A and B are shown apart, each in its own frame.
Chain A
Amino acid sequence: EPEVTQTPSHQVTQMGQEVILRCVPISNHLYFYWYRQILGQKVEFLVSFYNNEISEKSEIFDDQFSVERPDGSNFTLKIRSTKLEDSAMYFCASSESGRAFFGQGTRLTVV
């Protein structure tokens, strides 16, 4: 089965630092997403990306966050000036015909 790959699997950063979470979606997919799961809570939608632009974003996805597809294969989530409450598991997903494939997630810990 095709896979979405995320790196790193775990990242620890100091409060106020910038982090970039990386994802390689499935190659023929056109829709890309980032979701977040704070420990013990449900999976929350952050942003969707289609045709090289954001198609929708949630209230969580404020100016602190940005996404990019820099080279046609990678899909990145940048968090500027991280806060303690940004600590969570971040999942990347891609989809084509209704089924989303999820990566294994990046656990971000802000200290």
Chain B
Amino acid sequence: QLQLQESGPGLVKPSETLSLTCTVSGASLSSSGYYWGWIRQPPGKGLEWIGSIFYSGSTYYNPSLQSRVTMSVDTSKNQFSLNLSSVTAADTAVYYCARRGPNSGYSYYWGQGTLVTVSS
């Protein structure tokens, strides 16, 4: 059974970099055909797609965040990561990691989500 688990600081200071890791169990990150990604949800608001990464390292980012986002994979640890730089209070959200279906734009498997608050 595929499981994803987000980890990282729950509190980040304004202007600093938010860093999260998603640990995958039950499947190999290097399985062909799957994109792994991040989606966020500000408190009480809707869902925003941040970006996706293939096991090879190829990425798609949301243009609204592209200048501040970096994603990477570590197949040896079966993990992928999100870095979001120069954060502001507007980046306060629950961050979910997820896996898309094979050659699909839909997220079939999700982590439980982790709340990241940006505050001094």
Decide whether A and B are members of one complex: no
Interface residues of B (CB under 8 A from A): none
Interface residues of A (CB under 8 A from B): none
